[in-house]
């Protein structure tokens, strides 16, 4: 490796200090700064969505509707879903860590289209503001799924506004995906062939395919909803012979792959963490790389499993069920390979690794309960119940958010140039893990017992489990507040981080922390495969 | 970068497209029942292929671009077949709503 | 910013070739998203067409095949002038390229004018969906559904045309000012791809909306 | 605080099989998940970093091991798929001799009508040991009929009939939920299902003030709406003969045939001129959309069924069982399994 790492001093400008002032942030085309803009925005939306969730959980502590009215409760879960899915989960990892790291991992100065990258942040923010505005005006009560004919004829809330906000932010997703694909194809450093890429990049590449091919369907179906609602013409409603199930087909054609938009970047992070904190190449690198892409591709073929009781044909249910089992195979491969990477490794228990191990455990439970939902006969009972709610929270909260937090800790030294406090961060990882399980495990039991989702009030025999869940949510909330506070602390007061505090192998660690504006002083030439500890042992000082 | 395709080729493509448009209309007047929509879409496919190959130079592009084109078409087909598959198999079990 | 030498290699790229490849590649990916965008509507149209063949054929009967065919020819012509404009730019004949681009934009406007004439005719004939729609046909509902799709899909296409025309005019000015040369005209190529794609969409719209009502 | 319940009630024939499959899945997943967890935690301790500069042996991967843990799960998954699909078909396909009960859902209540004329709101009484088939439709948005104790659920859609069947095995009182979000009082759209011994159910039927069977209500409506003016009960009317129609194949102009099932009859009442029938090119029937409620439609359908093949006269007995076997419906089906294409006056 020809890059000479300089220890940053006050004199060496980095991407944070090269330019100053608010305009230098708002007009930046630097992928790292845009990543930070996204980080601030998704954190903001995460806490808004989190407050909605907490209010819901408080309401559900008793069987009656005593804290909020049923209508308010319906708005709470709708807005929780909309904010969390489109304004937090989907942009969370790709647009923050992905934006920050992909160019560095491939040895590029920036993404292929830096201006487009900035534009996509503005589009995302504009969509977010439209959505928040329609929520402030009175909210929306359709659920995040916007099922017709409720959303187009019967709901009296700001459906068009919320749909418009999502529609707009969808373009940010498309542009991000487009940017990543072009970047990964065209901007790799000399010598960096596909099978030398870190798995983080592979996984984000797979994510981008979904961004680009699924999001347009969401855009068009939301447009149709808006047209139907504004002009009162029936596209999906029965007034003209339309079919509400067609809406569900189109919606899930996007929204199921969107689940993989959320979890593939999480897998991307975990692959990096497991390798770095075991000091080993990921077991079966090629399998894991291909698994990412096949998840993205097969993930497009399974959307009908959301509609097994919706009135679709029995035969289509069969092929969707079979394909759903097919997509579970690459996910299983990933879990096995990460686990096998630990074998004979040199495992450290730094905070990111705690999150990674937590991720593998929770993702396994989330994925396996997916097998229940894919089994046609079992799904009939548990679909539309808390079982589904618990299942996708295990994937999205237990998976994606755990990975996001793990990744934030891992790359924090690179982003900020400072270390986070190790003790309290371990405590927060533990709190999040315990709080999460206490919140969502009881919901599996609730769903198994037949408690339907989206109920503001419920029969009294479900109360014990709901109370457990609410208690867990409080702990989980506290667990999420801790990193927010200590990351702010660390930004100003944390110990100065060396360029490569973890002795990891990625290109991003071979440039100062924080990196200079163009990432590398000299464009790196790559000669070795990813996670090649043997080749780098002298440089990393390992024996 | 010089010109990739001669101007003459563009004009030929243009003429072919006009001819195909005319034939779409003429065949449209024949009563082919269910077939008429298929013929119209098939001719449209031929026209689209001409535009893509000669106006958009898809033939001369890198493999990667061809992959993108193939991917887009494949994904559209996934959307159509799996959805229409549901509609076509409804009622096969012989009782309402399945 | 109008000097091609500066534009040819933006700071994030290593070589002009890398820049050229990633710009056209990006446009192709964008077109793939457009395929899915229109594809959603085509799919929904297909489903309803399969369910209500009679009503959709009857809806198609009231389309003006003359205006539709003329418009198809108009749009194909604009694709030709667009292709020739890029051809001229690649031979560094920028004045001619600029003129051809303006012609393309003008033809695009002609297309829109004809399209809006058709819309007006449909409105007059009470075929615009919603409160304006009236029909005594036994298939009135399916016909209205047909017109919902007709207006939605051609409307989206028209929006794409308007964006395209705007960009073409801007590029005509840039070409006239000498922003491109024979080595550097990648953005123009990308614009051409977009324009031809919008043309392809119309080819399919023409096939599904105008033809099936002809024979009855 | 109420007592903690951890097992759902099991009270139908499919529920027992459902339990077997569910617990099989739990067992398999628990084994694998705990295996992963144990290995993960054990290795995390066993190979805990011993010195800061430690470089562990690098292992590239092992294609044989990886292939094994790709193929074995896939085979297991295929097994899960097969069993799940088998159970699904059992849940979805009703027996032909099931007792029919009609369900109309609206925001936010369930309206149930028995063949024998009894009506209920948010409660459903059923005998045990007898298959029950629900024919369901919605007046407004999508609802979902869900009885956890029976492990059955089916979305209820506007403008079309969906069906659900079950056979209760244990007398008792069970929850009835709406499982598809349907608006403000979604969580209030709940009720009870009472499964009773057959003799108790019979007694309940006799006590429940019936205004005559559903089919006879339908017959009254048939005269009230003037249907009988054209649809005579012999072949003398201007319009198609309805006696013996139900369940038979109808030939449409254009060579297609559809089966005259519930959905078809409903569509013909609402959109009579949609798909012209062989021999009746110029349909003279006016549309009844907007004039007939969903409940009245079900009564009319019930009447047409009652005069279907094999029924000499109106069944006035309490037995609502239909002996009509549903024919296979071929060809292209609409969202409601029958092609519809009708002229409905606009509501505006």
Q: Do A312 and B86 touch (CB under 8 A)?
A: yes
Strand pairing class (D99-106; D109-114): antiparallel
Query: Which of C53, C65, C83 is the closest to B10 by Cβ?
Result: C83
Task: Compare all CA atoms of chain C with the CA of D339 and give the residue at the minimum distance.
Answer: C51
DSSP state of A304: G
DSSP state of D290: T
The edge-to-edge listing of strands for the beta sheet with D123-127 is D123-127, D191-196, D172-178, D143-147, D152-156
Q: What is the CA radius of gyration of chain A?
A: 23
Write the pLDDT tens digit of every residue in D266-323.
Answer: 878 887 776 667 666 666 777 777 788 888 888 888 888 878 776 543 433 333 333 3
Which helix (H) or strand (E) is A43 found in, with range? helix A31-59
Q: What whole-number distance in Å separates Cα of residue A396 and Cα of residue A392?
A: 6
Contact indicator for D126, D193 with CB cutoff of 8 Å: yes
For residue A86, which of A20, A166, A3, A18 has the smallest C-alpha distance? Answer: A166
Average pLDDT for C8-13: 73
Q: Do C33 and A215 touch (CB under 8 A)?
A: yes
- B10 CA: distance to closest CA in chain C (Å): 7
Q: Do C52 and D332 touch (CB under 8 A)?
A: no
What stretches of D78-197 adopt beta strand conformation (E)? 99-106, 109-114, 119-121, 123-127, 132-138, 143-147, 152-156, 162-166, 172-178, 191-196
CATH number at residue C143: 1.20.120.80
Q: What whole-number distance in Å separates Cα of residue A209 and Cα of residue A204?
A: 9
Give C-chain residues touching D335 at CB under 8 angstroms.
51
pLDDT at B16: 95
Q: Do D92 and B94 touch (CB under 8 A)?
A: no
- A318 CA: distance to closest CA in chain C (Å): 20
User: Of A32, A112, A218, which to mutate for an interface test with C (greatest number of C Cβ within 10 Å)?
Assistant: A112
Chain-centre distance for alpha carbon B71: 14
Q: How many CB pairs under 8 A join A and B?
A: 44
Residues 40-69 of B with CB under 8 A from A: 64
- Domain total of chain A: 1
User: Of D135, D333, D339, which to mutate for an interface test with B (greatest number of B Cβ within 10 Å)?
Assistant: D333
Mean pLDDT by runs of 10 across the 348 residues of chain D is 74 93 95 94 93 89 90 94 94 88 92 87 93 93 95 93 93 94 93 94 81 79 80 74 79 74 81 70 72 83 78 38 32 37 32
Helices (H), A106-243: 114-136, 159-186, 199-231
Structural domain includes residue A408: yes
Structural domain includes residue A4: no
- B43 CA: distance to closest CA in chain C (Å): 8
The distance in angstroms from the start CA to the end CA of chain A is 19
pLDDT at B95: 59
Query: Which of C12, C48, C144 is the closest to A109 by Cβ?
Result: C12
User: Of C48, C51, C134, which to mutate for an interface test with D (greatest number of D Cβ within 10 Å)?
Assistant: C51
Q: Which chains touch C (3 or more CB pairs under 8 A)?
A: A, B, D
Interface ipTM: 0.90
CATH number at residue A74: 1.20.210.10
Residue C124 CB neighbour total at 10 angstroms = 10
Q: Do C51 and D344 touch (CB under 8 A)?
A: no
Q: Which chains touch B (3 or more CB pairs under 8 A)?
A: A, C, D
pLDDT at B94: 61
- D348 CA: distance to closest CA in chain C (Å): 8
Residues 15-54 of B with CB under 8 A from C: 17-18, 21-22, 24-25, 28-32, 34, 36-37, 40-41, 43-44, 47-48, 51-52
Higher-confidence position of C139 and A152: A152
Q: Do D59 and A467 touch (CB under 8 A)?
A: no
pLDDT at D331: 32
Chain-centre distance for alpha carbon C52: 28
Structural domain includes residue A169: yes
Task: Compare all CA atoms of chain D with the CA of B91 and give the residue at the minimum distance.
Answer: D337
Structural domain includes residue C123: yes
pLDDT at D327: 30
Q: Is B74 on the interface with C (CB under 8 A)?
A: no
Task: Compare all CA atoms of chain A with the CA of C30 and give the residue at the minimum distance.
Answer: A178
Residues 183-212 of C with CB under 8 A from B: 183, 185, 192-193, 196-197, 199-200, 203-204, 206-208, 210-212
Q: Per residue of chain A (543 residues), what is the pLDDT tens digit? A: 344 444 545 557 888 888 888 899 999 999 999 999 999 999 999 999 999 999 999 999 999 988 999 999 999 999 999 999 999 999 999 999 999 999 999 999 999 999 999 999 999 999 999 999 999 998 899 999 999 899 999 988 999 999 999 999 999 999 999 999 999 998 899 899 999 999 999 999 999 999 999 999 999 999 999 999 998 888 898 777 789 999 999 999 999 999 999 999 999 999 999 999 999 999 999 999 999 999 999 999 999 999 999 989 999 999 999 999 999 999 999 999 999 999 999 999 999 999 999 999 999 999 999 999 999 999 999 999 999 999 999 999 999 999 999 999 999 999 999 999 999 999 999 999 999 999 999 999 999 999 999 999 999 999 999 999 999 999 999 999 999 999 999 999 999 999 999 999 999 999 998 999 889 888 888 888 989 998 888 888 888
Residues 96-125 of C with CB under 8 A from B: none
Q: What whole-number distance in Å separates Cα of residue D256 and Cα of residue D252?
A: 5
Contact indicator for B13, B55 with CB cutoff of 8 Å: yes
All structural domains of chain D, each given as residue ranges with its CATH number in brackets, are: 8-38+64-211 (2.60.40.420), 213-348 (1.10.760.10)
DSSP string, C103-116: HHHHHHHHHHHHHH
Structural domain includes residue A432: yes
pLDDT at D339: 34
Structure token digits, residue D140 = 């407004």
Task: Compare all CA atoms of chain A with the CA of D136 and give the residue at the minimum distance.
Answer: A311
Angle, alpha carbons A511-A515-A518 (nearest 5°): 95
Write the pLDDT tens digit of every residue in B26-72.
Answer: 988 887 777 788 889 999 999 999 999 999 988 888 889 999 999 99
Residues in chain D: 348
Structural domain includes residue A106: yes
- Domain total of chain C: 1
Give D-chain residues touching C55 at CB under 8 angstroms.
341
Structural domain includes residue C9: no
Contact indicator for A128, A87 with CB cutoff of 8 Å: yes
The pair phi, psi for residue A83, each rounded to 5°, is -65, -50
Q: Which chains touch A (3 or more CB pairs under 8 A)?
A: B, C, D
Q: Is A111 on the interface with C (CB under 8 A)?
A: yes
Q: Is A525 on the interface with C (CB under 8 A)?
A: no
Q: Do D40 and A452 touch (CB under 8 A)?
A: no
pLDDT at D282: 63
Q: Do C12 and A243 touch (CB under 8 A)?
A: no
Task: Compare all CA atoms of chain D with the CA of C51 and give the residue at the minimum distance.
Answer: D334
Structure token digits, residue A496 = 């100065």
Q: What whole-number distance in Å separates Cα of residue A202 and Cα of residue A294?
A: 11
Q: Do B94 and D161 touch (CB under 8 A)?
A: no
Which residue segment(s) compose the domain that A397 sits in?
A: 33-540
Q: Is C46 on the interface with D (CB under 8 A)?
A: no
With residues binned 3-state (H G I as helix, E B as strand, rest as coil), the percentages for chain C, rounded to 5, are: 80, 0, 20
Contact indicator for A490, A420 with CB cutoff of 8 Å: yes
Q: Do C182 and B21 touch (CB under 8 A)?
A: no
Give A-chain residues touching B63 at CB under 8 angstroms.
none
pLDDT at D311: 52
Which residue segment(s) compose the domain that C94 sits in?
A: 16-210
Query: Which of A300, A314, A319 is the closest to B98 by Cβ?
Result: A314
Q: Do B96 and D261 touch (CB under 8 A)?
A: yes
- A247 CA: distance to closest CA in chain B (Å): 11
Structural domain includes residue C3: no
- C40 CA: distance to closest CA in chain B (Å): 8
DSSP state of D138: E
For residue A362, which of A424, A440, A295 has the smallest C-alpha distance? Answer: A440
| Predicted confidence (pLDDT) at residue C8 exceeds the cutoff of 70 | no
Query: Which of B64, B82, B90 is the closest to A304 by Cβ?
Result: B82
Q: Do A242 and C131 touch (CB under 8 A)?
A: no
Give B-chain residues touching A311 at CB under 8 angstroms.
97
Query: Which of A181, A223, A518 is the closest to C29 by Cβ?
Result: A181
Q: Is D191 on the interface with A (CB under 8 A)?
A: no
- D63 CA: distance to closest CA in chain A (Å): 7
pLDDT at A84: 95
Least confident of A200-204, B16-20, C209-213, D103-107: C209-213
């Amino acid at each position: 490796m020809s890059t000479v790492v300089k220890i940053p001093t006050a004199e060496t400008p980095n991407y944070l200090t090269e330019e100053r002032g608010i305009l230098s942030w708002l007009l930046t085309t630097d992928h790292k700064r845009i990543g930070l803009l996204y980080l601030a925005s998704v954190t903001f939306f995460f806490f808004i969505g989190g407050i909605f969730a907490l209010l819901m959980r408080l309401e559900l502590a008793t069987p009656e509707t005593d804290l909020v009215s049923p209508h308010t409760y319906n708005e709470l879960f709708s807005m929780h879903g909309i904010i969390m899915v489109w304004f937090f989960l989907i942009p969370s990892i790709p647009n923050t860590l992905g934006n920050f790291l992909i160019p560095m991992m491939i040895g590029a100065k920036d993404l292929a289209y830096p201006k487009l990258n900035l534009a996509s942040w503005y589009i995302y923010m504009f969509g977010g503001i439209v959505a928040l505005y329609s929520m402030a005006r009175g909210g929306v009560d359709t659920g995040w799924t916007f099922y017709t004919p409720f959303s187009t004829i019967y709901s009296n809330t700001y459906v068009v506004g919320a749909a418009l906000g999502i529609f707009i932010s969808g373009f940010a997703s498309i542009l991000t995906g487009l940017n990543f694909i072009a970047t990964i194809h065209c901007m790799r450093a000399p010598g960096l062939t596909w099978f030398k890429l870190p798995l983080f990049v592979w996984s984000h590449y797979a994510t981008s395919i979904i961004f680009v091919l699924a999001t347009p369907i969401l855009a068009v179906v939301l447009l149709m909803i808006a047209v139907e609602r504004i002009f009162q013409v029936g596209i999906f409603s029965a007034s003209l012979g339309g079919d509400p199930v067609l809406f569900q087909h189109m919606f899930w054609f996007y929204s199921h792959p969107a689940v993989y938009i959320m979890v593939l970047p999480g897998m991307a992070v975990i692959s990096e963490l497991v390798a770095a904190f075991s000091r080993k190449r990921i077991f079966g690198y090629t399998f894991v790389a291909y698994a990412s892409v096949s998840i993205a591709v097969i993930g497009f073929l399974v959307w009908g499993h959301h509609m097994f009781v919706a009135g679709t044909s029995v035969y289509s249910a069969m092929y969707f069920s079979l394909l759903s089992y097919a997509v579970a195979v690459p996910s299983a491969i990933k879990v096995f390979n990460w686990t096998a990477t630990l074998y004979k490794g040199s495992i450290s228990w730094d905070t990111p690794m705690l999150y990674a191990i937590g991720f593998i455990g929770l993702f396994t439970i989330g994925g396996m309960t997916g097998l229940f939902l894919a089994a046609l006969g079992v799904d009939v009972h548990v679909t539309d119940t808390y079982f589904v709610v618990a299942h996708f929270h295990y994937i999205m909260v237990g998976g994606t958010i755990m990975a996001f937090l793990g990744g934030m800790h891992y790359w924090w030294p690179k982003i900020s140039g400072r270390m986070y406090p190790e003790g309290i961060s371990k405590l927060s990882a533990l709190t999040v893990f315990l709080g999460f399980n206490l919140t969502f495990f009881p919901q599996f039991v609730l769903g198994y017992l037949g408690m339907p989702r989206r109920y503001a009030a419920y029969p009294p025999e479900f109360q014990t489990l709901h109370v457990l869940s609410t208690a867990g949510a409080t702990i989980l909330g506290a667990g999420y507040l801790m990193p927010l506070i200590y990351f702010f602390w660390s930004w100003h007061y944390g110990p100065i981080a060396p360029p490569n505090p973890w002795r990891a192998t990625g290109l991003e660690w071979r440039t100062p922390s924080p990196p200079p504006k163009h990432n590398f002083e000299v464009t790196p030439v790559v000669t070795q495969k990813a996670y090649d500890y043997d080749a780098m042992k002298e440089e990393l000082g390992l024996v | 970068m010089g010109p990739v395709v001669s101007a003459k080729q563009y004009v030929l493509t243009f003429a072919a497209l006009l001819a195909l448009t005319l034939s779409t209309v003429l065949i449209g007047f024949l009563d082919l029942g269910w077939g008429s929509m298929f013929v119209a879409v098939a001719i449209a496919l031929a026209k689209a292929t001409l535009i893509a190959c000669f106006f958009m130079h898809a033939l001369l592009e890198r493999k990667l671009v061809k992959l993108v084109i193939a991917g887009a078409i494949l994904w559209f087909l996934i959307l159509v077949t799996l959805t229409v598959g549901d509609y076509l198999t409804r009622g096969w079990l012989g009782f309402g709503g399945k | 910013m109008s000097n091609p030498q500066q534009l040819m290699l933006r700071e994030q790229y290593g070589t002009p070739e890398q820049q050229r490849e990633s710009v056209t590649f990006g446009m192709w990916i964008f077109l793939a998203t457009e395929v899915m965008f229109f594809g959603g509507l085509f799919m929904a149209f297909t489903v309803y067409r399969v369910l209500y063949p009679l009503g959709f054929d009857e809806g198609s009967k009231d389309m003006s095949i003359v205006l539709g065919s003329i418009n198809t020819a108009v749009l194909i012509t604009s694709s030709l002038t667009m292709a020739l404009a890029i051809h001229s730019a690649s031979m560094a004949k920028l004045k001619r390229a600029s003129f051809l681009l303006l012609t393309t934009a003008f033809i695009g406007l002609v297309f829109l004018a004809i399209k809006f004439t058709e819309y007006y005719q449909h409105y007059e004939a009470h075929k615009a969906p919603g409160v304006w729609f009236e029909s005594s046909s036994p298939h009135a509902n399916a016909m209205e559904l047909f017109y919902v799709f007709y207006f939605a899909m051609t409307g989206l296409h028209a929006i794409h045309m308007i964006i395209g025309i705007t960009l073409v005019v801007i590029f005509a000015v840039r070409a006239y000012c000498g922003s491109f040369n024979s080595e550097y005209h990648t953005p123009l190529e990308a614009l051409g791809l977009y324009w031809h794609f919008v043309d392809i969409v119309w080819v399919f719209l023409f096939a599904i909306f105008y033809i099936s009502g002809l024979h009855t | 605080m109420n007592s903690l319940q951890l097992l759902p009630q099991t009270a139908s024939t499919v529920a027992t099989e459902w339990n077997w499959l569910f617990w099989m899945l739990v067992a398999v997943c628990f084994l694998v998940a705990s295996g992963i967890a144990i290995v993960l935690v054990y290795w995390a301790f066993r190979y805990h970093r011993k010195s800061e500069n430690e470089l562990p042996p690098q292992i590239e991967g092992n294609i044989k091991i990886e292939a094994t843990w790709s193929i074995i799960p896939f085979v297991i998954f295929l097994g899960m798929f097969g069993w799940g699909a088998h159970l699904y078909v059992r849940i979805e396909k009703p027996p032909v001799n099931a007792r029919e009960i009609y369900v109309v859902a609206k925001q936010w209540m369930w309206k149930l009508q028995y063949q024998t004329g009894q009506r209920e709101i948010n409660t459903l009484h059923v005998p045990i040991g007898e298959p029950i088939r629900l024919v369901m439709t919605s007046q407004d948005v999508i609802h979902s009929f869900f009885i956890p104790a029976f492990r059955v659920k089916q979305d209820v859609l506007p403008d079309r009939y969906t069906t659900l069947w079950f056979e209760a095995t244990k007398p008792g009182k069970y929850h009835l939920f709406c499982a598809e979000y349907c608006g403000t009082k979604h969580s209030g759209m709940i009720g009870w299902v009472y499964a009773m011994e057959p003799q108790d159910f019979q007694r309940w039927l006799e006590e429940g003030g019936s205004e005559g069977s559903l089919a006879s209500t339908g017959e009254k409506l048939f005269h009230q709406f003037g249907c009988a003016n054209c649809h005579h009960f012999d072949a003398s009317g201007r319009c198609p003969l309805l006696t013996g129609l139900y369940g038979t194949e109808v030939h449409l102009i254009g060579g297609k045939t559809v089966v005259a099932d519930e959905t078809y009859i409903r569509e013909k009442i609402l959109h009579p001129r949609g798909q012209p029938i062989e021999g009746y090119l110029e349909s003279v029937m006016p549309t009844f959309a907007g004039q007939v409620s969903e409940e009245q439609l079900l009564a009319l359908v019930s009447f047409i069924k009652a005069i279907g093949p094999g029924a000499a006269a109106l069944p006035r007995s309490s037995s609502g069982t239909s002996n009509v076997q549903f024919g296979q419906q071929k060809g292209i089906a609409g969202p409601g399994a029958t092609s519809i294409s009708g002229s409905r006056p606009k509501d505006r």
